[in-house]
Homo-oligomer: A and B are copies of this chain.
Amino acid sequence: MTAPHPHRVVLVGAGFGGLYAAKALKGAPVGLTVIDRRNFHLFQPLLYQVATGSLSPGEIASPIRHVLSGNRQARVWLAEVRDIQVEHRRLLLDAGEIEYDTLILATGAHDHYFGHDDWAAFAPGLKTIEDATAIRSRILQAFESAEREPDSEERRAWLTFVIVGAGPTGVELAGALGEIANDTLRHDFRSINPAEANILLLEGGERVLPSFPVDLSRIAERDLVKLGVRSRTGAVVIGLDNGGVTVRAGDRCERIAAKTVLWAAGVQASSLGRILAEHTGAVLDRSGRVIVQPDLTVPGHPEIFVIGDLANFSHQTGQPLPGVAPVAMAQGRYVARTIRARLRGETMPPFHYLDKGALATIGRNKAVAAFGRLHISGFLAWIVWLFVHLMYLVEFDNRLLVLVEWVYDYITRNRGARLITKGPGG
């Protein structure tokens, strides 16, 4: 005689959505398997600080097993999902397979080069720890190469940094680069003056931080100028190679010689969305996101939830919710509550996102924040930014360390983790 197995929840992807779903399922009468390709959860909003040498990879990553170790009914598998057999409620993995009663897909998004996949080699994006350490190495190596370059034109190309895309990630990268050039490296070189670096922020839309209110975009642009960053809006990249970028603005095309180009322009949802669509008839949007029901399930499959950057939830405002951590966390918690409710035979109201506002930091003492109609900027917004990020890092063990790094960097204007390492790695 065997006991009936408990309700089996399989969750794929331990980003913000997945992790918060798993944590909210603690103590629920389910067996939970968390599947991820990586053994750690990454605090992605601070990834740009690894890319710019302020933090070390270990400070913004926590082992998934450790975060969930108090959750005795949860097990963690390091694996990759190859296919979904929806009719058998089964996932095929790179090694083995697993059956589910409820499936939660939270595999997020990756960088997208709008049909120019070859650009990835010249303009790395910022999605993984490996991306961040590779960008860090590129930025530092560019200054090193400039220091040794006798030819003035080549030296200028080494000292020209182009960031494509002026959303929060692009703005944060550009601001940090401005500080590196003007502050951090000020006394480190003999042949070049790092402050002469040419930092260019390209945006296809009309203004930097296009998802923010107009007044905050203006402030961000002004603050960037103070850090030596020139932003150029209405500028679309039409060519990209190892010598620089070609930009079209209106009718004019311009070639910018730059050895370092960083990509923060667009993301595409994980390919698991396409696999799911093939098997369920779910509809994808242009970015590959799965268009979900009001309860975050896939049409015709109440047992399959899709959350976070992989989901397009448009029932609230007519527009998809933004691909940010607070949305993913709220969706993760909602799915956990829904599963608990169903097991009790209850139903849940549709998902509703309570807007947490938008935050972006531009540099030392400078940030912009919009909470509904309340717009703040400058030092106050920067303090809010610090507080919010430290608050969410509470979930992990690294809060104290990150705080020490930040305080130290703030006082000394230094960046401790300025390592050029080989290959992608962390």
Contact = CB atoms under 8 A, between A and B. Distances in A.
Interface string A71-92: 0000111110000000000000
A147 B39 CA distance: 13
A425 B414 contact: no
A115 interface: no
Contacts of A189: 65
Contacts of A70: 187
A129 B76 CA distance: 28
A95 B58 contact: no
Contacts of A226: none
A63 B420 CA distance: 9
Given A39-B420, A426-B425, A401 B397 contact: no
Contact of A401 (B57, B134, B140, B408): B408
Contacts of A422: 130, 424-425
B133 A425 contact: yes
A408 B414 contact: no
A404 B397 CA distance: 12
B418 A66 contact: yes
A412 to B, nearest CB: 7
B39 A417 contact: no
A190 B69 CA distance: 10
A70 B412 CA distance: 14
A76 B401 CA distance: 30
A149 to B, nearest CB: 10
Contacts of A421: 57, 129-130, 424-426
The number of chain A residues touching the other chain, given as a range, is: 35 or more
A40 interface: yes
B133 A426 contact: yes
A38 interface: yes
A148 B96 contact: yes
Nearest to A70: B187
A130 B422 CA distance: 7
A240 interface: no
A400 interface: yes
A141 B95 CA distance: 14
A271 interface: no
Contact of A397 (B62, B75, B188, B416): B416
A38 B140 CA distance: 11
Contact of A418 (B39, B185, B408): B39
A144 interface: yes
A398 interface: yes
Contacts of A147: 77
A59 interface: yes
A309 interface: no
Given A58-B417, A416-B58, A130 B423 contact: yes
Given A40-B419, A56-B59, A63-B418, 10 more contacts: A40-B420, A53-B58, A56-B58, A58-B418, A65-B188, A66-B418, A78-B420, A397-B414, A401-B405, A421-B425
28 contacts: A39-B141, A39-B419, A39-B420, A40-B420, A55-B58, A56-B56, A57-B417, A57-B419, A58-B416, A58-B419, A62-B416, A63-B188, A63-B419, A65-B188, A69-B188, A79-B148, A95-B148, A129-B419, A130-B421, A133-B425, A397-B414, A401-B404, A401-B408, A404-B404, A419-B426, A421-B426, A425-B425, A425-B426
Q: Which 6 A-B pairs have the closest CB atoms?
A: A425-B425, A58-B417, A56-B56, A56-B58, A421-B426, A65-B188
